[in-house]
Structure 1
């Protein structure tokens, strides 16, 4: 039995390594693009620790009252999300007008400018009120770059990745998000040890803000490198067939002109040689039928559900939550938060390699959401029973802290990377940039709502009610994944409309719960037949079959 298991593991590792070698260029490109996730994660992980530091509160003259301080914390956190929302809104136009690659370069430059403005706050004789306004402006500018990148990166990765690794590569963005959080958690912990719990030296928070420039520089250098070509699908859409052919050769590490010509013909067949439809025409096209509209709204829906599972409320205010559960001392809370970040990175990487393609998107979302729901309800129940005396129930308190770590394991499996995968692959090709912009606008809008509401909810809703609310939202997310989301793994982007029938849609979604009924074998037969038809006939005579143009 053991030898059989060892043989299966060895075969899996060998197959995976061969796949990595085969798609080495695509992996390199996707991982370099995923570096923009560091921008997102770094600020999310950094700001929660800084808000509790004496130096930050002194430099910006934050009030000492619990309710007033909670309001200021919510404002400081949510200004970044406001900028991110505007950056995501700009993705309605920029990626289709100037291209995916140039949009990412612009995002990195804007993020660097925002970092400079934040780092230079409270310099010289600047008053705390003026410094706070400058901080708001800097966070909004930096947020614009982060929001633009968060919309463009999943679209870019989905368009450059082969179908066999599209889910895994799309998750790389989330992997770098949680990696940025983890690094920021430990930066906060190191700064707290260096400056102490009561230090009022502004160097502490200024170093933390200044270090945000590192991920922006890394992302910029990766994008301008020759390893990140422009999206071949965007090039075809804008009539640059030869550039698209060259981009496909580089991404697929192939000198086989027949293979590359087949890929190019498949993309051209899907787009029918159409140019960028423009924002107004894209909106009209999105409304042509009910299923096209739904496919364009799926990114917004899954991002809305992701935010209301409470994960970013936990990310931003985890030191405060650990104190509520009985961990005392700022350094202790920051260290526990750092371990929380390590668990997040480890689980995201593990599930990216072992679950997203093997279990499929649908089951990852269901299992992960159920784990989150259970953990949040457990924490809420503990706080409801123990109340303010949670520190006295040490055994149960430590078990509840473990539930917080289990919560993030569930998030890593479900409503983490798979959300970005589903968002980037479900929309029609011609409308993908529009749909992803709507999705990331939803992400940042409700990210801001959660960030703004969480400190007030923790302060004003007694007996763990905040966690009951988030847990119930996680259960609603699971129900959505069961009844309204089909399985999309294993299908090329050009044929994903096969997963969205106009009749019997809910029945199809329920059938996808069973591997036997998932119709994967049927899908593979259809895909192979249509790919063969495209290879044989499309270059000379155009598409050999009728298909949904979206």
Structure 2
């Protein structure tokens, strides 16, 4: 049954306020380029070598990412124990506390590290709590839209932070701490807003059913769908969830704390999903787009953008490109054309843009720093700046969409929070490694780096590997209910990515008989098979 017409104000409200995060990535790029900040925390110390400054920049930027690993683990414990909504509330409190510690550090590097670490514990939880909640409350026909709004709002935070950094650099003196403190206060504003509005959000009906709170689950489903409790759509969806929970309990490995962990690692279809999710994070984080988000001013400087305000303005435009691209993908592409088609498009565009930047930096990168460019060199560097924007668009269409959506929608309810937590731990571990390594990677070989062009070639190679991996292993999940994913992942591992989309639309019989789906995918003549059985 199609549910594209299902809409309710409650659903829209919950989707929006569970999607607010992402401000730190936008703030830190301006913060570490603020003149006053660099003076306070030793980044402009002439006694430090370029490698030492790069290492210090990496430590400050990546402290949030390393703490987010712990935050993602905490999210698993709390999301299943206290529910999705209460987990969001405590996350906001932790996030706000971390930002407050940063704002009051006043040149104390240890307190700055502590503040970024505490904020990271909150930010790490957001990437588990948000997508888990959103895929559970969304109708399957717009599940991609609802979950991708999370990715879109991440870029809303980045855009607002970029513009705040740009405005502060223009209107606040370089000698004032407020030049980097004012933009960070956006995190407190939106963290507080999310905390307050969470008291109007509805708990996930799926989580309530697992807890045995059937009446609350039905009431919340009615509000989320905007339909009466007796409507066939609501009744069918609730019954499908109950049936799925019953099947999971029958096949579960006990009720202990470690039972979901055993199910995740010792059931083949679950382990495949976990490996798939980990690889999506690994390939996405090392594709180069996240490092451009965090170190955007440095990349624009490599391509010839001069002046602090000019670099921050170019960074603002990049944020707008990513925001518009993410929302366009959410509203018009990911559910209509599928996850894989969107990802293919993004990966190809991202590869071409990164490859152009790599070739330009290798052939003519020195002209942007020498200050003497011919007309042709100027056009080439301008094309490189445009390639940065194309890369932002491609990232929004590709890995950024999939890294939250597929990871949270493909797991059974019993292991969803645990699996998403593990995957997001891996996400932040790679993001930490990336943000820590990039300042050093961009250095010349003589200073222990791999040069700016070598770094770009490395990212381009990762994108090629990602394109091959997606074609072979990643299944198409658009249009399938959460309760039907088991049938898809019960296919042989070598068929899931290439033939999963050929599976029939899910019915009760399809869910209970994965073997029949396999036979259909392999184009076996079902009638002959049945005749042979008789």
Q: Which residue of 1 aligns with 2:340?
A: 362
2:502 aligned to 519, 527, 534, which one?
519
Question: Does 2:392 correspond to 1:415?
Answer: no
2:486 aligned to 452, 473, 497, which one?
497
Q: Which residue of 2 aligns with 1:5?
A: none
- State the alpha-carbon separation in 2 of the partners of residues 82 and 375 from structure 1: 29
- State the alpha-carbon separation in 2 of the partners of residues 74 and 244 from structure 1: 45
1:346 aligned to 324, 329, 338, which one?
324
Quote the offset at 1:287 in angstroms. 2.7
Q: Which residue of 1 aligns with 2:130?
A: 153
Quote the offset at 1:29 in angstroms. 1.5
Quote the offset at 1:348 in angstroms. 0.9
Quote the offset at 1:138 in angstroms. 0.5
Question: Does 2:212 correspond to 1:248?
Answer: no
- State the alpha-carbon separation in 2 of the partners of residues 510 and 31 from structure 1: 34
Question: Does 2:242 correspond to 1:268?
Answer: yes
Question: Does 2:101 correspond to 1:121?
Answer: no
What SS does the aligned partner of 2:399 have?
coil
Alignment of 1:329-344 (within 5 A): 329-344=307-322
1:486 aligned to 460, 470, 475, which one?
475
Cα deviation, 1:453-511, whole Å, max 9, x if unaligned, reads 011111222250111111111121111210001111111100112222332x4334224
Alignment of 1:120-519 (within 5 A): 120-122=104-106, 128=107, 131-196=108-173, 199-225=174-200, 228-259=201-232, 260-272=234-246, 274=249, 277-390=255-368, 392=373, 393-459=377-443, 460-462=449-451, 464-503=453-492, 505-511=493-499, 518-519=501-502
Greater alpha carbon shift after TM alignment, 95-104 vs 456-465:
456-465
Q: Which residue of 1 aligns with 2:17?
A: 32
Cα deviation, 1:76-96, whole Å, max 9, x if unaligned, reads 011111221110011231111
Relative to structure 1, the CA distance from residue 397 to residue 547 in structure 2 (aligned partners, 3 Å threshold; closer, same or farther) is closer
Q: Is the 8 A contact 1:25 1:250 kept in 2?
A: yes
TM-score, reference length from structure 1: 0.86
- State the alpha-carbon separation in 1 of the partners of residues 78 and 180 from structure 2: 33
- State the alpha-carbon separation in 2 of the partners of residues 297 and 431 from structure 1: 14
- State the alpha-carbon separation in 1 of the partners of residues 474 and 41 from structure 2: 46
What SS does the aligned partner of 1:257 have?
coil
- State the alpha-carbon separation in 1 of the partners of residues 419 and 312 from structure 2: 37
Quote the offset at 1:20 in angstroms. 6.4
Quote the offset at 1:28 in angstroms. 2.4
Q: Runs ≥4 in structure 1, deviation > 6 angstroms?
A: 528-531
RMSD between aligned residues: 2.1
Quote the offset at 1:279 in angstroms. 3.8
Structure 1 unaligned segments of length 5 or more: list them.
1-15, 123-127, 513-517, 532-544
What SS does the aligned partner of 2:203 have?
coil
Question: Does 2:58 correspond to 1:74?
Answer: yes
Relative to structure 1, the CA distance from residue 200 to residue 68 in structure 2 (aligned partners, 3 Å threshold; closer, same or farther) is farther
Q: Is the 8 A contact 2:264 2:419 kept in 1?
A: no
Cα deviation, 1:415-460, whole Å, max 9, x if unaligned, reads 1123211011111221000110011111111111110001111122
Relative to structure 1, the CA distance from residue 461 to residue 441 in structure 2 (aligned partners, 3 Å threshold; closer, same or farther) is same
Q: Is the 8 A contact 1:59 1:200 kept in 2?
A: no
- State the alpha-carbon separation in 2 of the partners of residues 333 and 278 from structure 1: 54
- State the alpha-carbon separation in 1 of the partners of residues 428 and 277 from structure 2: 12
Q: Is the 8 A contact 1:167 1:418 kept in 2?
A: no
- State the alpha-carbon separation in 2 of the partners of residues 447 and 279 from structure 1: 29
TM-score, reference length from structure 2: 0.88
Structure 2 unaligned segments of length 5 or more: list them.
444-448, 516-534
Q: Is the 8 A contact 1:383 1:390 kept in 2?
A: no
Quote the offset at 1:299 in angstroms. 2.5
Q: Which residue of 2 aligns with 1:53?
A: 34
What SS does the aligned partner of 1:92 have?
helix
Quote the offset at 1:529 in angstroms. 6.5
- State the alpha-carbon separation in 2 of the partners of residues 176 and 106 from structure 1: 20
- State the alpha-carbon separation in 1 of the partners of residues 255 and 238 from structure 2: 20
Greater alpha carbon shift after TM alignment, 94-103 vs 267-276:
267-276
Quote the offset at 1:58 in angstroms. 1.6
- State the alpha-carbon separation in 2 of the partners of residues 243 and 298 from structure 1: 34
Relative to structure 1, the CA distance from residue 21 to residue 166 in structure 2 (aligned partners, 3 Å threshold; closer, same or farther) is closer
Greater alpha carbon shift after TM alignment, 405-414 vs 296-305:
296-305
Q: Which residue of 1 aligns with 2:518?
A: none
Relative to structure 1, the CA distance from residue 73 to residue 268 in structure 2 (aligned partners, 3 Å threshold; closer, same or farther) is same
- State the alpha-carbon separation in 2 of the partners of residues 490 and 308 from structure 1: 29
Question: Does 2:85 correspond to 1:108?
Answer: no
Q: Is the 8 A contact 1:380 1:467 kept in 2?
A: yes
